[in-house]
Amino acid sequence: MRIAIVMNPRSGRLSREGETLIAELRNQASVCRVDSLVEDGEDALKAALSSSADAIAIAGGDGTIRAVTEMAMRAGSALPLIPLEK
């Protein structure tokens, strides 16, 4: 399964260790793309949906999960979650 990750770099561990975590995610064979939703969440999700991903993963807190879930549900995408503590 190929996964595209839509993430909020201001959320939880990403705000503290973001660069390291993002680099690790990008090095995973199953991850085909990592997009940030800081600038435009809808553009990040559209890019993820247009990739070769089988599913979209969300990396972020409650607000990130809610926003991306709403957009992804309208698009009919699978949604594995990556919760990040604060």
Q: What is the residue whose two structure tokens read 């561990």?
A: 13
Show the domains of the chain with their CATH numbers: 3-83 (3.40.50.10330)
What's the pLDDT tens digit per position in 25-72? 888 888 888 877 765 567 787 888 888 888 888 887 787 788 778 887
Do 79 and 56 form a contact (C-beta atoms < 8 A)? Answer: yes
pLDDT at residue 28, as a whole number? 86
Question: What pTM, to 2 d.p., does this model score?
Answer: 0.71
Beta-bridged to residue 3, according to DSSP, are 31, 55
